[in-house]
Each structure stands twice: as structure tokens, then as C-alpha cells.
Structure 1
Amino acid sequence: MNWTNMFFQDWTGLVRTGVVGVLAYATLVLFLRISGKRTLAKLNAFDLVVTVALGSTLSAILLQESIALAEGALALGLLILMQLLVTFTSVRWRGFAQAVRSEPTLLAHDGEYCHAALQRERVTQDEALSAIRSAGGEHVGSVRYLVLESDGTISAALRSKGDQ
């Protein structure tokens, strides 16, 4: 085994990675700007998959000499185009939106946990209580409602002091 190849093979590979890296990164930034703010919004599950796929594609473009910049740019553009098509369609067709996006889930209501929802969404009471405390509450009795949002965050609306 040639140990030097593990650390340095030749200047051609380094130059290619540098040049293609800068161009691929610029292409990705351009495509993200063209696709609009929605691509960069808080991530739901579908957006997370697209983001990971974009990162993986960028990595492959940078490190695999068998992938030309034009092919990589096409792959990046295709991923962003597919994401735009999915968001475009989901805004116009509720059935499609329900198929690709998750709906918010009520975790607690009027000071009581919705145990089935907590279990189904795999949220512990400790995690729910942490969200309640972050919103300024002390315990589940302090909330009007607690919601697991589509992007995975937990929102809490506290009860007024007289309602507790």
C-alpha cells in the first residue's frame, strides 16, 4: 500500500476539485436564488430530503472525477425543479399537499395531554414540557394548546392567568 496516495495523489485532482467546487457552489447558489425563498424556508420532511440530496449531489460533483460539472449542474437543477413542482402542485391541490406534507398535530389541549398523539408522533412528555417552559409556562396545565408543527417545532399557546 502506498501511504502517500492516501494524503496526496496529484495536483490535477486538487485543481479539478477547486475549480469544479467553486463553479458547482456558484451554480447551486444561483439555482437556490432562482427557486425563491420557499426553498430556504424552515424545513419539513420533504424539504429536508431535498436539502440532503442537494448536499450529496454537490459532494459527488466535487469528489467524483467521473461526474462532469454540466452533469452535476443538471442534477442540482433537476432536484430544485422537482422541489418547485411539488410545492407548486401542493399549493394548488390539497390532496397532493396532504400526500407530501405532514399536518400539525395537537399534543395538548386545555391543560391536558393528548396521549395518543404524543405516542403517535413519538414526543415524550418531557419534550412537551420543555416546549411549554420555553413558551413561559410551568406545566401542562398552563397551556391552551400545544402543537407539533409540520416542520417539527412545538408551538405553545398559554392559558391566561385566570384560566389556570
Structure 2
Amino acid sequence: MKWEAWFSIDWQQVFGISLSAIGFYVGLMIFTRFMGLRSFSKLSSHDFAMTVGIGSILASTVLSDSPSLLQGLFAVGVLFIIQGLVSIIRRKIKPLKALIDNQPIILMAHGEYFWDNLKEANLSTSDVQQVLRKNSVKSKSQVFVVIMETTGDMSVIKNDDVRPDWSLFDDVRDSEMLINPAKTAPIKDALNNV
């Protein structure tokens, strides 16, 4: 194989790629119109899988002859239908929601790390510290809570004078430790004794 082939393209390919990209774009807009903007959100792990799947199908459809544009659009349509069904199941059948979704977990609260949760999430304190710095946290004492969301993103909530609305933390594992900071004391004591 000659290295020139890596840098070449003929007009037929330009035309084919352009038509496929335009067709795919229009198809995605139509699907999104029917299924809603959630289709490209990253609110849960199945939303993220949807986005990755569409990207993979887009790449293979636009840059190669196989699958064809119609095959690619059909595959994306099936993904949209699956996502719609999963969303309905999540809303209507609560026990299945727990099987489909990850549960948000507390990584740090009241300036203290939750070591078991860090271990379960395969994170180090350095990972959390990086997120704290990105959120302009200068001291651990500023941290009310750091939560790893279902998508893998970390939410940082700082201490302030506003009384928390505890219902915002109903779906977060170990949220009872936010209400009663004294419950974190056994964790601190266990670490001090190690």
C-alpha cells in the first residue's frame, strides 16, 4: 500500500460522504423531533450508550459503502425505539428502574471521604481533588457533598447558609449521612485507628 493512498480522495467519495452525512443529519433531526431532546442527554448510563451507539453507526455509515445510509438510519431508529422503551419502563416500573440505572453515590461529605464508595467507584482521592479544584474549592471544609452521578460525572455542592432540601438527595446512596454528619464519625474513627 502506497502512503499516497492515505492522503487521497476522489470526487465520487466526496459526493458519497457528503450525501450520507446530510442524510444522516436530517434523519437524526427527525428522530430527535419524535423522541425528544433526551435522546442525546447524558442523564443515565443507557443515554450514554445511546450516544456512543449513534456515533459508531454514524461513522461507519458516512465513511463506508456498507452499511448503506438506509441501513444506518434503520439501526439508529431501532436505538431510538429501544431508548424510548427503556425510558417508559424506568418511569412506570420502579423495581426495574433500579436494575437499569446506577445509583448516585456520595464520595465525600462534610469534608470527609467515603472510602468504601471511592473504592467501589474505582476512584482515588486525586480524582476527587481534581474535580474539587475545577469547582474552585480551596478547602475540604467548603465541601457539603461530592456525588458521583449515574453518568459518572461528579457533582460538587459547597457549604453555604441555605438549608438543604433533603428531597434532592432521596435517590443518593448513603444520603442519610448528609442529614446527620455525626454518622460519618465511625468512618473517621475507623481511619484513625488504621
- Between the two proteins, the alignment pairs up a number of residues equal to 161
Q: Which deviations, in whole Å up to 9, do the C-alpha atoms of 1:50-93 show, x marking residues without a partner?
A: 11111111122212323332222111111111111111111111
- In the other structure, the counterpart of 1:159 is 159
CA distance in 1, matches of 2:139, 2:160: 13
Q: Percent identity?
A: 25
Match of 2:91 in 1: 91
1: CA distance, partners of 2:45 / 2:56 = 17
2:50 counterpart residue number: 50
Name 1:22's counterpart in structure 2. Answer: 22
Residue 115 (structure 1) aligns with: 115
Q: Which residue of 2 aligns with 1:102?
A: 102
Please say which of residues 110-119 and 149-158 is displaced more in the overlay: 149-158
Deviation at 1:118, TM superposition (A): 1.0
Stretch deviating more after TM superposition (65-74 or 45-54): 65-74
Output the TM-score relative to the length of structure 2: 0.70
Q: 1:10 to 1:125 in 2, by over 3 A?
A: closer
Q: Would the aligned equivalents of 1:35 and 1:84 in 2 still touch at CA under 8 Å?
A: yes
User: Cα 1:78–1:3, aligned 2, differ >3 Å: closer, same or farther?
Assistant: same
Structure 1 residues 82, 2: CA separation in 2 closer, same or farther (over 3 Å shift)?
Answer: same
Give how far 1:16 is off.
2.1
Partner of residue 59, structure 1: 59
Q: CA RMSD of the aligned region, Å?
A: 2.5
- 1:94-148 deviations in whole A, cap 9, x for unaligned? 2222222111101122332111111111222123234344445433333232211
Greater Cα offset, 4-13 or 146-155: 4-13
Normalised TM-score (structure 1): 0.81
Does the CA-based 8 Å contact 2:111-2:140 persist in structure 1? yes
Deviates more, 1:120-129 or 1:82-91: 120-129
